[in-house]
Amino acid sequence: MLIGIDASRAVTGQRTGTEAYAWFLLRALLPLAGAHGHTVRLYFNAAPSPDLFPPASHIEEVVIPFARLWTHVRLAAELQHHPPDVFFTPAHVIPLSYHGRAVATVHDLGYHYFPEAHPQRQLAYLKWSTRHNGRRATRIFADSQTTKDDLMRFDGIPADKIEVVYPGVDPDLQRVEGEAVTAVCQKYQITPPYLLYISTLHPRKNLERLAQAYAQSGLPHQLILAGKKGWLAQPILEQIVHLQSFGSAQDRSSISSKISLPGFIADEDKATLISGATAVLYPSLYEGFGFPILEAQACGVPVLTANTSSCPEVAGDAALLVDPSDVNAISDGMRQLAEDNALRQGLVEKGYTNVQRFSWEKTARQILQGLVEMEEEGESEIRD
């Protein structure tokens, strides 16, 4: 079988969210496809680095650079002239004019719950592209049961068309201790002890309430808000910088100095920075799948996360769940994790167990099986 895959998101330098999903998935899927006798054709909108994926005889790379509308013009034309047996897009959208067998992964529909967290043009595109993928695709892979339920609810996609396939967790993430933690803290000008948020800075991530809860907690820890800026992040960051705590004027003036915004964390520093934290805080308002929850658990760090959307689904019984709309609940949870050693240790042990449920190898096996089944169904329809 010839599998065509939109690999354009995998060439992004700073991988977060969908870019990380595409890269980790392809890294696991490519050797698996070769072992089962399939050929994979990867489509790029820019030349990939030579070491992006290990070269192999069953992998073809098609580079089709184009400034605008790459998916719906250049990729569509390539697919039309040289169609694969099945086309798969792990992190983007199926070309509008392509009519062959196609599969897409849908990550989340959070924009339906928090439309104000997106610019209007982006919001319109998200609504259209997700609905288009859902209706156009022969099969949909959803990151979580939460995403599957939302596809059925908002876009009317039949349940039997959607398969829940959990993403994996970076296999290189593991606990780091000792001088390496000290060195990374010095690199990013962080003073332990610290509480860590690590993800894109975006309104849906609930950063304003998180910072308010931190100011209310009175904890001596630094609060680290690590990640690159997403849509509409700047107004939130400006409010956080001017945040005032309760108490004396001296207390109020000290809060902004205790909140650090180190920006995007390099991949080689991620596990170390997570490992050094007292806890990872992720009370997001909505998640299709919460990668930071698993990343913290893989590094042996307790997690505070939301009791809504997919967060409980991902965290299992290995996180402290709070109402993300309740500042008091977030603040109380912070204090519990900072002050209760037994609670922290219990969550760490459960976290190591929970994270074993997720691996990119398992994700790749499920997705390859889904692609094969769809191809077999197509061949059966032709014979009939």
Least confident of 5-14, 88-97, 126-135, 296-305: 5-14
Q: Are 313 and 279 in contact (CB under 8 A)?
A: no
Whole-number Å distance between alpha carbons of 45 and 95: 14
Average pLDDT on 224-252 reads 71
pLDDT tier for residue 13 given thresholds of 50, 70 and 90? low
**pLDDT: is 276 or 267 the higher one?**
276
Residue 250 has pLDDT above 60, yes or no: no
* pLDDT score, position 62: 96
pLDDT tier for residue 379 given thresholds of 50, 70 and 90? low
Structural tokens at position 283: 């009370």
pLDDT tier for residue 196 given thresholds of 50, 70 and 90? very high
Whole-number Å distance between alpha carbons of 329 and 332: 5
**What residues does CATH 3.40.50.2000 cover in the chain?**
2-168+359-379, 179-357
Distance of CA 372 to the CA centre of its chain: 26
* pLDDT per residue as tens digits for the range 106-115: 999 999 998 9
What's the chain's average pLDDT? 91
Average pLDDT on 165-175 reads 95
* pLDDT per residue as tens digits for the range 31-47: 999 999 999 999 999 99
Residue 360 has pLDDT above 50, yes or no: yes
Strand order in the sheet with 194-198: 259-263, 222-226, 194-198, 279-282, 303-306, 320-322
Phi-psi region of 116 (alpha: psi -120 to 50; beta: other; left: phi over 0): alpha
pLDDT tier for residue 239 given thresholds of 50, 70 and 90? confident
Average pLDDT on 95-102 reads 93
Residue 245 has pLDDT above 50, yes or no: no
* pLDDT score, position 254: 64
**pLDDT: is 333 or 243 the higher one?**
333
Phi and psi, residue 297, nearest 5°: -65, -40
Q: Are 84 and 51 in contact (CB under 8 A)?
A: no
Report pTM: 0.92
SS3 170: coil
CATH of 2-168+359-379, one of 1.20.1440.230, 3.40.50.300, 3.40.50.2000, 3.10.20.340: 3.40.50.2000
Residue 329 has pLDDT above 90, yes or no: yes
Least confident of 220-234, 266-280, 281-295: 220-234
Average pLDDT on 367-375 reads 92
Task: Report the chain's C-alpha Rg in angstroms.
Answer: 22
Q: Which fold would CATH assign to domain 179-357?
A: Rossmann fold (3.40.50)
- Give me the residues paired with residue 41 across strands: 4, 60
Average pLDDT on 121-148 reads 94
Whole-number Å distance between alpha carbons of 302 and 279: 5
